[in-house]
Amino acid sequence: MLADFKVNRCSRRCYALSRPLRDGEWFYSVVIEDGEELIRRDYSAEAWTQPPEGSIGWWKGRMPLAGSRKLVLAPDPVLVDLLRGLGDAVERRPLRYLLALTLLRRRVVTSVDASPNASSPAGEKVVRLRVNADGSEVDVVTCPISRSQTDELQAALQELMYCEASE
């Protein structure tokens, strides 16, 4: 599982252009497997064309603005409440599914092997998750996510999961 591997923080430098990433600048990060190690490289948006050969994952981020307040991840119980609160409305399914995957990766929830082919009454594939803190279970409908949805979903997920740090 990827959560078992260490990936470095943002280098704050464009790997391709060998320059610092500027405040507020969009950038792309990739993870490349190099033998037993995972290497992270950051690229400015102007230098980015596509993930380099051998990439096992990539994402888009934005450098924080100087003087901006620091964002912190909401506490685990709040994130679990958000997962439950998103409900099962069709338009919220991709966001709910991504939140569930994030909580699974962070080990806030674990997958339950209820049935290898579990599905909703409408026939969609369902993943059953157990909340580690209290043992309750949550069913989440899986859904494919297209490349065209990624930017919008990433922004929505960040808005849900992060809040400004109190001083």
Claim to verify: residue 29 and residue 98 sit in the same structural domain: no
Q: Answer yes or no: is 85 within a domain.
A: yes
* Residue ranges making up the domain that contains 124: 72-164
Claim to verify: residue 106 and residue 130 sit in the same structural domain: yes
Of residues 132 and 71, the one with the higher pLDDT is 132
Is residue 139's pLDDT more than 60?
yes
Nearest to 153 by CA among 53, 86, 56, 69: 86
Claim to verify: residue 43 and residue 94 sit in the same structural domain: no
Is residue 21's pLDDT more than 60?
yes
Domain termination site, one of 14, 36, 62: 62
Contact predicate 141/120, CB 8 Å: yes
Claim to verify: residue 96 and residue 27 sit in the same structural domain: no
How many whole angstroms separate alpha carbon 83 and alpha carbon 130?
A: 12
Is residue 13's pLDDT more than 60?
yes
Secondary structure of residue 55 in the 3-state scheme: strand
pLDDT of residue 160: 80
Q: Answer yes or no: is 67 within a domain.
A: no
Claim to verify: residue 43 and residue 78 sit in the same structural domain: no
| Residue 99: HSE in the Cβ half-sphere, 13 Å Cα cutoff | 31
Least confident of 70-74, 91-95, 151-155: 70-74
How many helices and strands (H and E) does the chain possess? Answer: 3, 10
Of the pLDDT bands very low, low, confident and very high (cuts 50, 70, 90), residue 166 is low
Claim to verify: residue 83 and residue 156 sit in the same structural domain: yes
pLDDT of residue 2: 41
Sign of the C-alpha dihedral, residues 105, 109, 115, 118?
negative
Of residues 97 and 37, the one with the higher pLDDT is 97
pLDDT mean across residues, the chain: 84
How many whole angstroms separate alpha carbon 136 and alpha carbon 130?
A: 6
Claim to verify: residue 143 and residue 84 sit in the same structural domain: yes
Number of domains in the chain: 2
Q: Answer yes or no: is 40 within a domain.
A: yes
Nearest to 99 by CA among 124, 121, 78, 71: 78
Claim to verify: residue 25 and residue 100 sit in the same structural domain: no
Claim to verify: residue 115 and residue 52 sit in the same structural domain: no
